């Protein structure tokens, strides 16, 4: 069932609610530059196990409104708070992939983990997406600037190149086109502005605000958010559990979908 929820700044976000209404609730937050449909291979399976899966298109992406403004982590996490409250969600597993993982961390800090029972960080773009003097992992700011520039000049080519980075295991050409189409459903300016947030926002100070069980799911061959991101998050988030995937890339939820889905369910059931 799909519908729209009005959040701040009169922006309507598209929400899809899949599975039994009385099941354990998982709220999925997609990453850059996709939308909630990237979790198709979780929506196919997890409801069979009794989970209620809720996918959200962030502002600017998918079927949500595409305002000119509001692409900071603060605003994006505020949008998630409104959705949780308007849907009356409680004891939620918040699952964020890539930039969605970064937004989920900001939500935990900015909203004191409101109604979140556990946090799943999937190939999270955190604690920093870009490298610096004391953080030698991830992209350089210049590399992200190049992504932003290509967003403005040839977004289909950017998405094609990103698809090749995203998955470690071979995918079919139709699957790659599906991935590109997910990205093209976003506004170009929203894709660019969220890339600015990826480039500039830091989450080091947010991590101490997390006081729920945390599962960190990360592919060892991730070319977008290196595996070291997951190791650092595991070291800095007390009591977290790290789930490594030897042959998986950034799209771990597809590269190792069967093992990932099982690990994800185990994480929920045991925390």
Tokens of 1: 């069932």
Question: Is the Cα dihedral 106, 108, 114, 119 positive or negative?
Answer: positive
pLDDT tens, residue by residue, 128-160: 999 999 999 999 999 999 999 999 999 999 999
- Given the residues 123, 250, 256, 263, select the one marked as catalytic: 250
Q: Average pLDDT of 246-250?
A: 96
Tokens of 57: 């298109």
- Given the residues 57, 65, 222, 256, select the one marked as catalytic: 222
- pLDDT tier, 1 (very low <50, low <70, confident <90, very high otherwise): confident
DSSP string, 4-52: EEEEGGGEEEEEEEES-TTSPEEEEE--TT--GGGGHHHHTTGGGGT-E
* Residue carrying structure tokens 């004191």: 112
Q: Average pLDDT of 230-257?
A: 97
Residue 8 above 90 pLDDT? no
Please report which helix (H) or strand (E) contains residue 97, including its range.
strand 92-97
pLDDT tens, residue by residue, 51-110: 999 999 999 999 999 999 999 999 999 999 999 999 999 999 999 999 999 999 999 999
* Cβ proximity of 201 and 232 under 8 Å: no
Task: Please tell me whether residue 86 adopts helix, strand or coil conformation.
Answer: helix
- pLDDT tier, 111 (very low <50, low <70, confident <90, very high otherwise): very high
Residue 245 above 90 pLDDT? yes
In the residue annotation, 250 being an active-site residue is answered as: yes
Residue 257's pLDDT is: 94
DSSP assigned state of 165 = H
Backbone dihedral region for residue 123 (phi beyond 0: left; psi -120 to 50: alpha; all else: beta): left
Domains in the chain: ranges and CATH: 2-269 (3.40.50.1820)
- pLDDT tier, 9 (very low <50, low <70, confident <90, very high otherwise): confident
Q: Average pLDDT of 39-47?
A: 97
In the residue annotation, 222 being an active-site residue is answered as: yes
- Given the residues 64, 98, 104, 197, select the one marked as catalytic: 98
Task: Please tell me whether residue 263 adopts helix, strand or coil conformation.
Answer: helix
In the residue annotation, 97 being an active-site residue is answered as: no
Backbone angles phi, psi at 34, to 5 degrees: -100, -150
Q: What is the mean pLDDT of the chain?
A: 97
Residue 75's pLDDT is: 98
Confidence (pTM):
0.98
Q: What share of the chain is helix, strand, coil (3-state, %, to 5)?
A: 45, 20, 35
* Cβ proximity of 140 and 146 under 8 Å: no
Question: Is the Cα dihedral 140, 157, 154, 65 positive or negative?
Answer: negative
């Amino acid at each position: 069932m799909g519908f729209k929820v009005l959040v701040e700044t009169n922006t309507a976000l598209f929400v899809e609610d899949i599975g039994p209404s009385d099941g354990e609730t998982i709220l999925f937050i997609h990453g850059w530059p996709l939308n909630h449909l990237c979790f198709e291979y979780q929506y196919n399976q997890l409801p069979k196990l009794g989970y209620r899966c809720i996918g959200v298109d962030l502002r600017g992406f998918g079927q949500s409104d595409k305002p000119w403004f509001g692409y900071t982590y603060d605003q994006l996490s505020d949008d998630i708070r409104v959705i949780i409250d308007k849907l009356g969600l409680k004891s939620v597993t918040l699952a964020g992939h890539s930039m969605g993982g970064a937004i989920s961390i900001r939500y935990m800090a900015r909203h004191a983990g409101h109604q979140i029972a556990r946090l799943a960080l999937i190939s999270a773009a955190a604690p920093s997406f870009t490298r610096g003097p004391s953080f030698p992992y991830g992209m350089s700011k210049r590399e992200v600037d190049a992504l932003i520039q290509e967003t403005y000049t040839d977004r289909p080519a950017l998405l094609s190149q990103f698809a090749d980075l995203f998955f470690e295991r071979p995918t079919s050409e139709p699957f790659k086109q599906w991935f590109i189409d997910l990205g093209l459903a976003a506004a170009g300016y929203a894709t660019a502005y969220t890339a600015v947030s990826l480039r500039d926002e830091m989450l080091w100070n947010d991590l101490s605000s997390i006081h729920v069980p945390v599962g960190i799911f990360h592919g060892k061959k991730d070319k977008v958010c290196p595996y070291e991101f997951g190791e650092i998050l595991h070291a800095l988030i007390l009591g977290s559990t790290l789930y490594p995937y030897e042959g998986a890339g950034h799209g771990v939820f597809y590269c190792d979908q069967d093992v990932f889905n099982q690990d994800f369910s185990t994480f929920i059931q045991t925390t």
